[in-house]
């Protein structure tokens, strides 16, 4: 069972940090006991004095704390838009999954493109798209050769 959790707050005392005093992650222990297998961690931005810090991967600190302080697997969301963002979040143990929304609005085949860029061969492509896969991989290879060894 997955649950979308949106009521985390960017409350300010002196410093703006994820979780104010009234919003400690321990409250999520109740969700774990209730049988939540994974939490999709978003922020509701529901209080007037919030001071969200927008930027790349901006909600990942919440997913990180819930995963590592409570022990519930998490899905990180929010301005994650490159495969490297996903890989670094997962490799660092900050979340168990990443979900991307807006990148798919400009490129519905974002996952396919990212898999080709990462040379991830296990990605399943719809059969009618396979000529696009071959072309993309060829072009990526040519671009890499043009740049030369990094
Ligand atoms: C068109 C659109 C509609 C959305 N609607 C909702 C919504 O109704 N409730 C909600 O909690 N999040 C909503 N979201 C937020 C997404 O669920 C997701 O958490 C967020 O967009 C992830 O960040 P990203 O778009 O930077 O990848 C929406 C996002 C988009 C792009």
Which residues share a beta bridge with 97? 75
Verify that 22 and 73 share a domain, yes or no: yes
Verify that 117 and 100 share a domain, yes or no: no
The answer to whether the CB of 101 is under 6 A from ligand 1 is yes
Q: What is the pLDDT along the chain (150 residues), one digit of tens a residue?
A: 777 766 566 654 444 445 544 454 545 567 777 777 899 988 866 677 777 778 999 999 989 988 998 888 999 999 999 999 999 999 999 999 999 999 999 999 999 999 999 999 999 999 999 999 999 999 999 999 998 887
Verify that 82 and 14 share a domain, yes or no: yes
With beta carbons less than 8 A apart as the criterion, state whether 143 and 117 touch: no
Verify that 70 and 133 share a domain, yes or no: no
DSSP class of residue 12 equals: B
- Per the structure, the complete domain to which residue 26 belongs is given by 2-105
Q: What is the pTM of this model?
A: 0.83
Domain count, the chain: 2
Verify that 20 and 83 share a domain, yes or no: yes
| Cα-to-centroid distance, 106 and ligand 1 (Å) | 14
What are the backbone angles phi and psi of residue 116, rounded to the nearest 5°?
-65, -45
Question: 44: domain CATH number?
Answer: 3.40.50.12600
The answer to whether the CB of 78 is under 6 A from ligand 1 is yes
| Cα-to-centroid distance, 101 and ligand 1 (Å) | 6
- Residue 79 has a CB neighbour count (10 Å cut-off) of 16
């Amino acid at each position: 069972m997955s649950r979308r959790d949106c009521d985390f707050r960017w409350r300010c005392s002196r410093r703006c940090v994820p979780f104010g005093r009234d919003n400690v992650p321990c409250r999520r222990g109740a969700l774990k006991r209730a049988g939540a297998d994974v939490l999709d961690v978003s922020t509701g931005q529901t209080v007037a004095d919030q001071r969200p810090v927008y930027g790349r991967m901006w909600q990942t600190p919440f997913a990180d704390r819930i995963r590592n302080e409570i022990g519930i697997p998490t899905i990180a969301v929010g301005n994650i838009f490159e495969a490297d963002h996903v890989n670094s979040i997962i490799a660092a143990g900050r979340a168990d999954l990443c979900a991307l929304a807006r990148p798919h609005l400009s490129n519905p085949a974002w996952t396919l493109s990212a898999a080709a860029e990462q040379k991830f061969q296990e990605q399943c492509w719809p059969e009618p798209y396979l000529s696009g896969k071959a072309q993309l991989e060829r072009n990526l290879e040519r671009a890499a050769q043009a740049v030369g060894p990094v």
